[in-house]
Structure 1
Amino acid sequence: MAINKVVRAALKAISYREFDIKKNYLQYRNLVNLANKSLKPLYNTWDCAVDSGRHAIPVRIFSPEGEGDFPVLLFFHGGGWVAGNIDSYSKVCANMAKMTNHKVVSVDYRLAPENPFPAGLEDCYQVAKLFITNKEINNGKVTLIGDSAGGNLAACLSLLAKERNEFKIDSQILIYPATCNDHSETSTFQSVHDYGTDYLLTSKRINDYMDLYISKKEDLESPYFAPLLAKDLSEQPDTLIITAEYCPLRDEGEEYGKMLREAGNYVSIYRVKDALHGYFALPLRFPQVRLSYEIINSFLSRQRGETIEK
């Protein structure tokens, strides 16, 4: 069912009153954490930290029910590189472990502006390196997964891993990822113009996030900030990209998938109808969330070599 007039009017009103992130990012961060606060599960969950050599990177591990060596989903949360943490995404990750029968490793990477680009990316890289290369820690398959800014981090990590050649990433799942560096009126993507004002996540909010994330203007031209700028997209992981119909990031995420495919990679691209940016964090009763897990599980089955219907 498409968004009706009443809901559209409500979305417009909420978007119009958006919080000034650049001036009040600490307050916004606290609001996000408070709104998504949940009690840590008492079972199948444990906290640990990865030593980067300079600081500890907190991670929270969510294990599905039952016994066995489960494959790993290495998860990077959204929040514009500025907000969110492993606490605010605990419900999402617990659901993810349950719905996919995978062990979910949620990374509490450093946030901007206190730790600007590429600090968060480097944290994600170090955790990926540990879980992929240290067989005593994990001897199973690892798939990167992230939503929004976390999808950006997953895509950029895959590019960085190819360049550094320290480990190989086999698969990645990018949920409405940020892949471009321009969300202004000059954007070439129609979804920025169609859905960049009245659909919760606005173009102004995205630009504010980017301004807080970068340390200098030159960062905007880095493919590790905006993966659409990468000159060579060959030898990238098998990729699943899920976008939302009413999301300003929709077209750039889908374009990144098309470019990966043109470079010779396996790519599946799905657009979830009647969905807004951020829908993946909603409870499992929402049909868009249930559909997304069907899509994700189909992709993961393919990665395990199981026969799936195309």
Structure 2
Amino acid sequence: MIVVSSHGEKDEEKAKQECSSGCCELKHIQELIRHYTTPGVAPPSARMIPDVKVDHKPDFRLWHWWKYGWFVASKATQMTGDALMHTIWGPRKKSWGIQMTLMSSLMRNAGQHTDLMDVPSIRLFMGMGGMGPAPPDALVTPVTFHVKKRRLRGIFEEYDRQETGKRELSGEWVVGKRTWNRLQTEWKAAQIGERGSHTFAKKTERVMLYIHGGAYYVGSASEKRVISVPLAQYTDSRVFSLDYRLAPETHFPGPLHDVVIGYFRLIDDLHIPPENIIICGDSAGGGLSLALLMYLRDNDYPMPAGAILMSPWVDLTMSGESWDSNAQYDVIPVFSPKDHMNPIANYLGDNIDRYLMHPYASPLFGDFKDLPPLLIQSGDSEVLRDEIALLAHKAELAGVNVRHELYQDGVHVFQTFPFLEVWSRSFMAMHDFVRNTLHHLQRECPRVLADKAERSMEKEIDTHAALVISADGTETSVGVEGAKASLLDEDGHEMADSHCLNCGRRQDSTWSSSSETDVESEEEADIKISVVPPSADPSPPITRSNTEDDSEVIPLSKGLKRVSSATSISSILTDSPPTLSKSLRERSRTLHLASPIADRRRQSRSRSRSPFRRPLTPEVARQVESWSWHFWSG
């Protein structure tokens, strides 16, 4: 690089310094990634080590009640002070409202008061209100099924032999009202077609397997409807939200075993083609989702179309610097490694020395080769920020198609806070990934669901156990017949999802209108995004013997539209080691979502493409940004 000074003289020394600085930063990122290439060897910055000895919860005495009073008083004082500072000097983060300020204040330093809590008390607290009221306009159907032998291979071979068919797992189907009405219309049209009256063209359907988070020891499908409902609405998909066993009653790999069972139930029992399934998970559920993908690949099982990971927890060693730098902003309690409430110790149990860096427990230590496309979303104010950034770049170097979106002022799993400005942008990005982008990247085209698959899901969703979440957030158990009445307005017309009012999508009089249209129309951008699929595997796709293939294959459409939101593109410098092939350089891109107030940072398209660098701290995030080119669009 040669830099020309204002006097027209070539400043070669300055150019060399900038080039050297960029190369050193990239080498440091690569060195950090190398710390996660050897399972069993902890990174030097690990806060959780294999031989840690966890303390037991101290016995409660009657005179300990004063601690609760002191905690409430001190926390009330802290929240009052933060509210006053927010009002007088402004929010601690630029886009935060008073709600986010108070939420951050409530959770700050909560990990220092674990002598007042235990796992059952936290579950009770979470179960009382969940993560807040569920978004309106959805149909939810609880489901319970028996776990049967699946002839699983690998780490679950012995676990599979022990299944007798008596153990039960549960979950729930979540369908947005718009999607449900469309499906009702299609099912009726299909029945008419069977009688020879009409011909009916089916639509390619996506089915989501959602794995909730909760630090492996709290949370449930019903408590995370704040995510599963808008996920179903924005992607126009049916979502199956799984309840897996929790720690400390069940240790690793038990929860992952349940997730594997849930996946095979979709493709084997409900006859849903794997290429139509998208895995989605947040926090611990994001880690389980990534572990599921690696298990399927390692044991030659059919892979899903892709995965959406929201703030995935992928490093149980807690090695990222952001665990310290963002602790004052994030909503995650940071526990001492020896604390009895440490979720890692509860999850791994007595085998913490054996499994702490196992790729299925800490996916960042795994090999990401041959994984399907990933959409990774994280916030720049969460404690997991650094490990998620390393996850995205490590996956890119392995040849995986990755879209990494870093949301300014976003906390851990900010998708659970609808009052944040970035909330709707996040789900709009999921819509774009699922409806407009994924089918260009996946190896196998999604199919039109066979009648057997449609009937299986219809049988599970349309039952007397169905719940309707009305416009005011009230949950009513009305059954399928009551649901049909609830989905119509006074004039008998189908009603649209409430989120359409917020995301800017046009509301149609009926929900059967195509959802394949863009979230927002947009002129062709100056920046061309060329995403090349991973190198094609010459071998035929792996299928299971009991997976039926009687569906029509939808041809792959051409073209790839850019994400319809302000983005920046992070590309690995091609002149820095290691040397990357041309195809890998094309694949090695990370998309970082811009500020929620990006309209204040617009740039003219006539402006030259000079690098715009926004330094972030700590070091990992700063270096990730420093070797990125940023282009802002309105």
Question: Shorter-chain-normalised TM-score: which range?
Answer: 0.7 to 0.9
Structure 1: distance between partners of 2:377 and 2:137: 31
Q: Deviations over 1:85-106 (max 9, x none)?
A: 0121123212211121111110
Give the fraction of aligned pairs with identical amino acids, expressed as a percent: 20
Offset at residue 266 of structure 1 (A)? 0.5
Output the amino acid matched with 2:304.
Answer: I
Q: Secondary structure at the match of 1:165?
A: coil
Q: Deviations over 1:195-221 (max 9, x none)?
A: 135522133279811111113121102
Query: Is 1:16 aligned with 2:109?
Result: yes
Q: Secondary structure at the match of 2:562?
A: coil
Match of 1:27? 121
Structure 1: distance between partners of 2:134 and 2:92: 34
Q: Which runs of 5+ in 2 are unaligned?
A: 1-90, 149-162, 187-202, 441-556, 564-634
Give yes or no for contact 2:110–2:334 (8 Å, CA) kept in 1: no
1:212 to 334, 337, 346: 346
Structure 2: distance between partners of 1:47 and 1:266: 34
Match of 1:72? 207
2:429 to 286, 292, 295: 295
Q: Secondary structure at the match of 2:408?
A: strand
Q: Deviations over 1:255-291 (max 9, x none)?
A: 11111110111111010111111311122x5321101
Match of 2:601? none
Structure 1: distance between partners of 2:408 and 2:120: 33
Q: Deviations over 1:138-179 (max 9, x none)?
A: 687100001101101101110111112232122011111111
Match of 1:156? 291
- Classify 1:180/1:204 alpha carbon distance in 2 versus 1 (closer, same or farther; 3 Å): same
Offset at residue 25 of structure 1 (A)? 0.6
Q: Which runs of 5+ in 1 are unaligned?
A: none
Q: Secondary structure at the match of 2:245?
A: coil
- Classify 1:257/1:139 alpha carbon distance in 2 versus 1 (closer, same or farther; 3 Å): closer
Output the amino acid matched with 1:223.
Answer: P
- Classify 1:112/1:299 alpha carbon distance in 2 versus 1 (closer, same or farther; 3 Å): same
RMSD over aligned CA atoms reads: 2.8
1:195 to 312, 316, 326: 326
Q: Secondary structure at the match of 1:63?
A: strand
Match of 2:590? none
2:171 to 49, 59, 79: 59
- Classify 1:131/1:13 alpha carbon distance in 2 versus 1 (closer, same or farther; 3 Å): closer
Instruction: Tell me the number of residue pairs that the alignment of Structure 1 and Structure 2 aligns.
Output: 304
Output the amino acid matched with 2:335.
Answer: K
Output the amino acid matched with 2:262.
Answer: V
Structure 1: distance between partners of 2:103 and 2:233: 33
Give yes or no for contact 2:135–2:229 (8 Å, CA) kept in 1: no
Structure 2: distance between partners of 1:38 and 1:79: 17
Structure 1: distance between partners of 2:373 and 2:138: 32
Structure 2: distance between partners of 1:192 and 1:243: 14
Q: Secondary structure at the match of 1:107?
A: strand
Give yes or no for contact 1:21–1:209 (8 Å, CA) kept in 2: no
Structure 1: distance between partners of 2:400 and 2:244: 28
Structure 1: distance between partners of 2:225 and 2:295: 27
Structure 2 length as normaliser, TM-score? 0.45
Query: Is 1:309 aligned with 2:574?
Result: no
Q: Secondary structure at the match of 2:278?
A: strand
1:221 to 343, 352, 357: 357
Structure 2: distance between partners of 1:133 and 1:261: 31
- Classify 1:291/1:10 alpha carbon distance in 2 versus 1 (closer, same or farther; 3 Å): closer
Give yes or no for contact 2:103–2:331 (8 Å, CA) kept in 1: no
